C-alpha cells in the first residue's frame, strides 16, 4: 500500500538521487528477514519504512516476514537477506557447533519476552509451580524451557511438556495448565476469551537472554558495514517514535502492514505497550551492553552453549 | 431415481448441518470449541475485507503450480507411455513423488527456495503424480484398431501418437486434472502456512490461530474447501462439455510399471540399481542447481556423512532411531484403523447409498480442512494420546482408500450378486459370500495408497499435539539449526513411504 507519506518520501529520494547521480549510497538495497508474521513485534521497522527513515538513510529496505518454517539464520546464510532477527540461543549454538560465520550487532529485546502464561484461576507464578503440570511449548523453544527448569533445580521429567500449536484455546479450556509464548501477546487473547491471565518471564528466573538479536554474516559485516549502521540508526529512530506513546502507531498501520494478518489492532496495541519495558535500555534501543552480553552468555553457558564476546560486535552501535 | 437420490443426499446433509448448529449453539462439544455453522458464516461476512488478498495469493500460487506440475506430468506421461524402459527407470522418482509427506518437504523448500517458489513447488508436487499416471493409462488404453488404421496408411509413430493415442488419452487426463486441482490448492496453502509470506490463506490461518477463535479458523477452512471443490467441479464441467460424459471420482492406486521385457540378468540388475539411484541423483542435482550453501542444503552424501561418519553421527542415529521407534508402531496401527474405517464405509455405501451421499460432503471437508485449524478442537475432545493420533491418521487415510474400495465394490458383477439372492440369501450373506471376497484385490490396492498417508497423519499428530517421534524431531531440529537432522528426517520419511509402498 502506497500512502501519501511514503509516496512523497520515495519521490523525494528519487529527486535526490537524480540530482546527485554520483552519491553512491543513495537508496542502496538492503534486505532484512523478520522472525515472524507482521505484528507489533516489528512496529518500529514499519514506522521507519512508513516515515521514510530508511530512505533518508540511503537504504532501499526490503522487508521479509517470517513464519514457522522460516529459520531466519538460514536466509542470511543463503544470501537472500543481509540481516536477520534471531533468537540468540540458536544463533550462538550454530556459531559454536557448526562454525557459522555470524555476528550479533544489536538486540531488539533486552529481555526475552518469552514466558510462561497461565490462567489466573489456576496460576503458575514460578517455575516450581510447574511441577506435575502440563505445559505446552513450541518444539523450537523446548531448549529454552529446559534451560530455565534446570536453572531452577527442576528435572525436565517433572513437567509434562506437550507441543504448542499456536492456538491458545486448549489453555483457555483448561486442557493444559500453561503455555510458553510471548507474554506481550497471549494474555490479551486470553482476556478476549473472558479469562484473566497471569505470566512470568523466563528472563526473571535465570534465563537472561536477549531476543530478536540482529544477526549478520561476517561477509556482509565486512562489505556493508555503513549500510548496517544506517539501518540501526533508522530502526532506532523508528522504535523511539513508536514507543514514545505505544498507542499512537499501530492503528495507522491498519490498512498497510497489519492489513489482513488475522490479528486485531487492539491486540497490537496491547502488544506494543507490553513490549516497551522489555526493549528499553539506558544506552538506547538495540543496545548491547557489557552486562547484557555477559548475562546472555552465562545463561546459555548453563545449558552447554558456550559462546564468547567475540560473537558480538558492539562497534556499529557505537557509531549510531 | 437419480433425482430421488440427490434429494436424499441433500436432506441428509441438511439434517447433519442442523445437528451441528444445535450442538454448536449449546456448546456441547469441547466446552463450545466447535462453533455452529451460523457463527462461521457470520464471521466470514465480518472478515470479508480480509479474504480477497489472501484468496488471490493462494490462487496465484496454486494456478502456477498446477500449470507447471501438469505440463511436466503430461510430458513425462507421454515419454513413459512411449518408452517402457524410461517408465521403469523413473519408477523410483514417481513413487517418491507420490509418497513424500508434504510436511517433511515444506521446511526443506523454505530452506532452499525463496519468494513464491516453495508454494508453487509444493502445489506442483501435489499434481504431478495424479496427472502423470492418468496420461500413461490414457495413452495405453487408446484404441489399437484406430492405431492400426493410421499405421496402415503409412502414419509415423508421431502421427499415431498425435492422432490416436493422445486424443484417446484426453478423457483420462481430464479426470486426472480434476483430482489434481484440489491438491494444488492444498499444497499452496501448506507452503504459505510455514513459508512466511505476507498474503495467502495459509498465512491468514497462521495469524488467526493465535487468537483462539474457532469460527474464524472454520471460515478459512470453508473457503479452502470451496476453492478446492470449485476447481474440482470446474474440471468436471469442462470434461462434460468436451466429452459429453463424466465419471465419478477415481483414483489410480498403482504406479504404472513398464513391462519387464526380460533381457539378460545384468541388464535387469542395472536397471533396478538405476531406478533406485535416480531419485538420489535428482536430489543431488537439485541442490547443486539451487546454489544453496552447503551449511543449509544437504546432498544425499552429506546426509550419509551426518548419520554415519561425522563425530556426532552416533547421537544423531540414536535420536533418529528413538523417534522411529515411537512413530512406526502407531503408523501401522493407524493404517489398519484407516483401512478398517474405509472398508466399513465402502460396505455401508453398498448397503445404504443414501447415508453415504449425505456423508460425502462431510468427508470432503475433512480432506480439505487444514488439520492445523482442527487440532485444538481434536485435542480438547480426544486429549493428546494414542486416540488423537489414530483419529488424525484415520482422517488423512480413509478417503483415498474408501474411493478405491467403493470403486471395487461397484464393479462386482451383478450376476454374481443375483445368484445368492435367487437362493433367498440375506443381504448380509450376499455381502459375505460375494461382495467382500470380490473387493479383496482392491483392499490390497487401498493398502498401498494408505501407508504413506498413515505416516503423514502420524507425523502431523506428533508435530501438533503429542510431541513425540519423527514429527517432533523435525520441528525440534529447526530450533537447534540442526540442518543435517532436518534433511535426515525428510529423507527417512520419504524412503520409508517408498519402501512401504513397495
Is 50 exceeded by the pLDDT of residue A251?
A: yes
Report the C-alpha gap between B115 and A202 in whole angstroms: 34
Report the C-alpha gap between B141 and B77 in whole angstroms: 13
Pick from A74, A79, A159 the residue to mutate for testing the B interface (most B CBs within 10 Å): A74
**Ramachandran angles phi, psi of A61, nearest 5°:** -80, 130
Nearest CA in chain B to A139: B476
SS (H, E, C) A36-104: CCCCHHHHHHHHHHHCCHHHHCCEEEEEECCCCCCCHHHHHHCCCCCEEEECHHHHHHHHHHHCCCEEE
Report if residue B7 sits inside a domain: no
Inter-residue contact B137 to B125 (CB < 8 Å): no
Cβ separation of B198 and A38 shorter than 8 Å? yes
- Domain end among B273, B294, B315: B294
Co-location of B182 and B67 in the same domain:
yes
**How confident is the prediction for chain A on average, in pLDDT?**
90
**Grid cell 488471490 in the structure block, residue:** B56
Of B197, B216, B376, the CB nearest to A65: B197
What confidence category does residue A7 fall into, taking pLDDT thresholds of 50, 70 and 90? very low
Is 60 exceeded by the pLDDT of residue A245?
A: yes
CA A126 → CA A205, A302, B57, B188, B415, distances in Å?
A: 8, 19, 44, 42, 74
Nearest to B63 by CA among B128, B131, B124: B124
Report if residue B111 sits inside a domain: yes
Contacts of A32 in chain B (CB under 8 A): none
Of B196, B209, B211, the CB nearest to A70: B196
Nearest to B182 by CA among B221, B219, B220, B226: B226
Co-location of B458 and B348 in the same domain:
yes
- B387 part of contact set with chain A, CB < 8 Å: no
**Paired strand residues for A199:** A117
Cβ separation of B204 and A73 shorter than 8 Å? no
Co-location of B138 and B78 in the same domain:
yes
Q: What is the dihedral of CA A65, A69, A72, A73, to 10 degrees?
A: -160
Instruction: Indicate the number of domains in chain B.
Output: 2
Co-location of B258 and B310 in the same domain:
no
Co-location of B134 and B250 in the same domain:
yes
- A69 part of contact set with chain B, CB < 8 Å: yes
What confidence category does residue A298 fall into, taking pLDDT thresholds of 50, 70 and 90? very high
- A110 part of contact set with chain B, CB < 8 Å: no
Nearest CA in chain A to B477: A140
Inter-residue contact A161 to B465 (CB < 8 Å): no
- Min distance B202 CA to chain A CA atoms (Å): 11
Strands (E), B239-289: none
- Cβ burial, residue B115 (10 Å; 0-12/13-18/19+): exposed
Report the C-alpha gap between A239 and B34 in whole angstroms: 40
Report the C-alpha gap between A93 and A144 in whole angstroms: 12
Report if residue B10 sits inside a domain: no
| pLDDT for residue B255 | 59
Report the C-alpha gap between B233 and B481 in whole angstroms: 43
- Domain end among B244, B266, B294: B294
Nearest CA in chain B to A68: B194
**Ramachandran angles phi, psi of B71, nearest 5°:** -60, -45
- Domain end among B233, B263, B294: B294
- B388 part of contact set with chain A, CB < 8 Å: no
Report if residue B13 sits inside a domain: no
- B465 part of contact set with chain A, CB < 8 Å: yes
What is the predicted ipTM? 0.84
Contacts of B316 in chain A (CB under 8 A): none
How are beta strands A28-33 and A83-86 bridged, if at all? parallel
Nearest to B341 by CA among B391, B408, B407: B391
Of A65, A172, A175, the CB nearest to B198: A65
Domain region containing B390: 298-502
| pLDDT for residue B181 | 87
How are beta strands A114-119 and A197-201 bridged, if at all? antiparallel
Contacts of B464 in chain A (CB under 8 A): 163, 165
| pLDDT for residue A17 | 40
Continuous segment of H or E residues that includes residue B325: helix B313-351
Co-location of B233 and B327 in the same domain:
no
Cβ separation of B50 and A262 shorter than 8 Å? yes
Residue B195 in grid coordinates: 513459508
Pick from A41, A156, A169 the residue to mutate for testing the B interface (most B CBs within 10 Å): A169
Residue B394 in grid coordinates: 484415520
Per-run averaged pLDDT (10 residues), chain B, 502 residues:
64 84 85 86 93 96 96 94 89 87 87 90 92 87 77 79 78 84 89 89 90 87 88 84 58 57 79 90 91 89 94 93 95 93 86 72 72 80 88 87 79 73 78 77 80 89 89 86 91 87 74
Nearest CA in chain A to B205: A262
Co-location of B483 and B469 in the same domain:
yes
- Min distance B132 CA to chain A CA atoms (Å): 29
Of B107, B199, B463, the CB nearest to A260: B199
Nearest CA in chain B to A164: B464
- Min distance B15 CA to chain A CA atoms (Å): 28
Co-location of B329 and B208 in the same domain:
no
Co-location of B358 and B498 in the same domain:
yes
Of B50, B372, B380, the CB nearest to A260: B50
CATH number assigned to the domain comprising residue B344:
1.10.3720.10
Co-location of B38 and B135 in the same domain:
yes
Report the percent of chain A where pLDDT is more than 70: 92
Cβ separation of A166 and B203 shorter than 8 Å? no
- A66 part of contact set with chain B, CB < 8 Å: yes
Q: What is the mean pLDDT of residues A151-167?
A: 90
Pick from B193, B200, B212 the residue to mutate for testing the A interface (most A CBs within 10 Å): B212
Cβ separation of A77 and B296 shorter than 8 Å? yes
Co-location of B310 and B290 in the same domain:
no
| pLDDT for residue B261 | 58
Report if residue B198 sits inside a domain: yes
Contacts of B465 in chain A (CB under 8 A): 162-163, 165
- B293 part of contact set with chain A, CB < 8 Å: yes
Contacts of B193 in chain A (CB under 8 A): 67-69
pLDDT in tens, A123-146: 999 999 999 999 999 887 887 898
CA-angle at A300, arms to A294 and A306, nearest 5°: 85
- B326 part of contact set with chain A, CB < 8 Å: no
Window from A154-158, A166-170, B280-284 with minimum mean pLDDT = A166-170
What confidence category does residue A26 fall into, taking pLDDT thresholds of 50, 70 and 90? low
**Ramachandran angles phi, psi of A137, nearest 5°:** -135, 130
Report if residue B20 sits inside a domain: no
Cβ separation of B479 and A73 shorter than 8 Å? no
Domains of chain A as residue ranges with CATH: 4-111+209-319 (3.40.190.10), 114-205 (3.40.190.10)
Establish, for the pair of chains A and B, how many residue pairs have beta carbons separated by less than 8 Å: 170
A 128-187 residues inside an 8 A Cβ radius of B: 138-143, 161-163, 165-170, 172-173, 175, 185-186
Co-location of B302 and B290 in the same domain:
no
- Min distance A78 CA to chain B CA atoms (Å): 6
Contacts of A169 in chain B (CB under 8 A): 33, 212, 214, 376-377, 380
Is 70 exceeded by the pLDDT of residue A48?
A: yes
Report if residue B354 sits inside a domain: yes
Of B107, B110, B481, the CB nearest to A90: B481
Report if residue B49 sits inside a domain: yes
Pick from A1, A33, A166, A266 the residue to mutate for testing the B interface (most B CBs within 10 Å): A166
- Min distance A100 CA to chain B CA atoms (Å): 8
Amino acid at each position: 500500500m502506497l500512502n501519501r507519506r511514503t509516496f512523497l518520501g520515495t519521490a523525494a529520494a528519487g529527486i535526490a538521487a537524480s540530482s546527485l547521480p554520483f552519491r553512491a549510497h543513495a537508496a542502496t538495497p538492503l534486505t532484512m528477514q523478520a522472525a515472524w508474521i507482521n505484528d507489533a513485534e516489528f512496529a518500529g521497522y514499519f514506522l521507519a519504512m512508513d516515515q521514510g527513515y530508511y530512505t533518508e538513510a540511503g537504504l532501499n529496505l526490503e522487508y521479509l516476514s517470517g513464519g514457522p518454517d522460516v529459520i531466519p539464520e538460514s536466509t542470511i546464510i543463503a544470501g537472500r537477506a543481509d540481516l536477520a532477527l534471531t533468537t540468540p540461543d540458536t544463533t550462538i549454538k550454530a556459531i559454536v557447533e557448526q562454525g557459522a560465520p555470524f555476528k550479533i550487532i544489536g538486540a531488539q529485546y533486552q529481555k526475552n519476552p518469552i514466558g510462561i502464561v497461565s490462567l489466573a484461576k489456576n496460576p503458575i507464578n514460578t517455575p516450581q509451580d510447574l511441577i506435575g503440570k502440563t505445559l505446552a511449548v513450541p518444539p523450537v523453544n523446548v531448549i529454552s524451557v529446559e534451560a530455565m527448569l534446570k536453572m531452577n533445580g527442576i528435572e525436565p521429567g517433572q513437567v509434562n511438556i506437550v507441543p504448542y500449536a499456536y492456538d491458545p484455546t486448549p489453555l483457555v479450556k483448561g486442557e493444559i495448565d500453561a503455555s510458553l509464548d510471548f507474554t506481550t501477546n497471549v494474555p490479551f487473547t486470553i482476556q478476549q476469551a473472558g479469562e484473566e491471565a497471569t505470566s512470568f518471564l523466563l528472563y526473571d528466573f535465570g534465563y537472561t537472554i536477549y531476543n530478536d538479536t540482529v544477526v549478520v554474516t561476517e561477509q556482509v559485516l565486512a562489505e556493508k558495514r555503513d549500510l548496517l549502521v544506517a539501518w540501526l540508526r533508522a530502526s532506532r529512530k523508528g522504535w523511539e517514535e513508536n514507543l514514545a506513546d505505544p498507542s499512537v502507531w499501530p492503528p495507522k498501520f491498519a490498512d498497510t502492514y497489519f492489513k489482513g494478518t488475522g490479528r486485531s489492532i487492539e491486540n497490537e496495541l496491547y502488544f506494543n505497550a507490553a513490549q516497551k519495558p522489555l526493549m528499553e535500555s539506558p544506552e538506547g534501543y538495540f543496545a548491547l551492553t557489557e552486562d547484557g552480553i555477559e548475562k546472555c552468555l552465562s545463561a546459555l553457558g548453563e545449558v552447554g552453549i558456550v559462546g564468547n564476546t567475540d560473537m558480538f560486535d558492539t562497534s556499529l552501535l557505537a557509531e549510531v | 431415481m437419480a433425482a430421488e437420490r440427490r434429494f436424499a443426499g441433500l436432506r441428509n446433509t441438511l439434517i447433519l448441518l442442523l445437528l451441528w448448529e444445535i450442538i454448536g449453539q449449546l456448546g456441547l462439544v469441547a466446552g463450545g470449541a466447535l462453533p455452529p455453522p451460523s457463527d462461521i458464516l457470520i464471521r466470514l461476512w465480518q472478515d470479508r475485507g480480509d479474504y480477497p488478498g489472501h484468496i488471490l495469493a493462494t490462487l496465484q500460487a496454486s494456478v502456477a503450480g498446477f500449470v507447471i506440475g501438469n505440463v511436466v506430468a503430461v510430458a513425462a506421461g507421454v515419454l513413459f507411455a512411449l518408452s517402457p524402459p524410461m517408465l521403469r527407470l523413473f519408477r523410483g522418482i514417481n513413487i517418491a513423488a507420490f509418497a513424500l509427506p508434504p510436511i517433511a518437504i515444506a521446511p526443506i523448500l523454505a530452506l532452499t527456495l525463496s519468494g513464491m517458489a516453495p508454494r508453487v513447488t509444493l502445489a506442483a508436487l501435489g499434481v504431478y503424480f495424479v496427472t502423470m499416471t492418468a496420461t500413461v493409462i490414457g495413452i495405453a488404453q487408446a484404441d489399437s484398431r484406430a492405431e492400426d488404421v493410421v499405421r496402415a496408411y503409412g502414419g509415423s509413430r508421431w502421427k499415431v501418437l498425435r492422432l490416436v493415442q493422445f486424443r484417446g488419452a484426453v478423457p483420462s487426463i481430464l479426470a486426472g486434472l480434476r483430482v489434481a486441482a484440489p491438491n494444488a490448492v492444498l499444497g499452496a496453502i501448506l507452503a504459505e502456512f510455514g513459508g512466511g509470506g505476507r498474503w495467502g490463506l495459509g498465512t491468514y490461518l497462521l495469524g488467526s490461530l493465535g487468537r483462539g477463535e474457532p469460527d474464524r479458523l472454520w471460515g478459512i477452512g470453508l473457503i479452502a474447501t470451496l476453492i478446492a471443490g470449485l476447481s474440482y467441479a470446474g474440471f468436471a464441467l469442462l470434461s462434460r462439455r468436451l466429452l459429453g460424459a463424466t465419471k465419478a471420482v477415481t483414483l489410480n492406486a498403482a504406479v504404472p510399471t513398464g513391462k519387464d521385457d526380460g533381457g539378460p540378468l545384468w541388464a535387469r540388475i542395472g536397471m533396478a540399481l538405476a531406478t533406485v539411484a535416480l531419485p538420489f541423483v535428482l536430489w543431488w542435482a537439485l541442490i547443486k542447481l539451487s546454489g544453496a550453501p552447503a551449511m543449509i542444503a544437504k546432498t544425499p552424501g552429506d546426509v550419509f556423512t551426518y548419520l554415519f561418519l561425522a563425530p556426532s553421527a552416533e547421537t544423531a542415529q540414536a535420536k533418529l532411531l528413538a523417534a522411529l521407534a515411537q512413530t512406526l508402531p502407531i503408523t501401522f496401527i493407524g493404517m489398519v484403523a484407516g483401512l478398517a474405517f474405509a472398508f466399513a464405509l465402502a460396505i455401508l455405501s453398498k448397503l445404504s447409498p443414501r447415508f453415504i451421499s449425505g456423508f460425502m460432503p462431510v468427508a470432503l471437508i475433512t480432506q480439505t480442512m487444514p488439520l492445523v485449524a482442527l487440532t485444538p478442537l481434536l485435542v480438547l475432545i480426544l486429549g493428546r494420546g494414542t486416540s488423537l493420533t489414530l483419529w488424525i491418521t484415520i482422517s488423512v487415510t480413509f478417503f483415498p482408500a474408501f474411493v478405491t474400495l467403493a470403486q471395487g465394490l461397484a464393479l462386482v458383477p451383478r450376476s454374481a450378486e443375483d445368484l445368492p439372492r435367487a437362493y433367498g440369501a440375506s443381504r448380509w450373506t450376499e455381502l459375505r459370500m460375494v461382495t467382500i471376497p470380490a473387493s479383496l484385490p482392491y483392499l490390497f490396492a487401498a493398502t498401498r495408497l494408505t501407508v504413506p498417508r498413515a505416516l503423514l497423519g502420524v507425523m502431523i499428530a506428533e508435530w501438533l499435539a503429542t510431541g513425540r517421534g519423527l514429527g517432533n524431531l523435525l520441528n525440534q531440529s529447526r530450533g537447534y539449526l540442526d540442518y543435517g537432522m532436518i534433511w535426515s528426517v525428510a529423507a527417512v520419511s520419504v524412503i520409508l513411504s517408498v519402501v512401504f509402498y513397495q
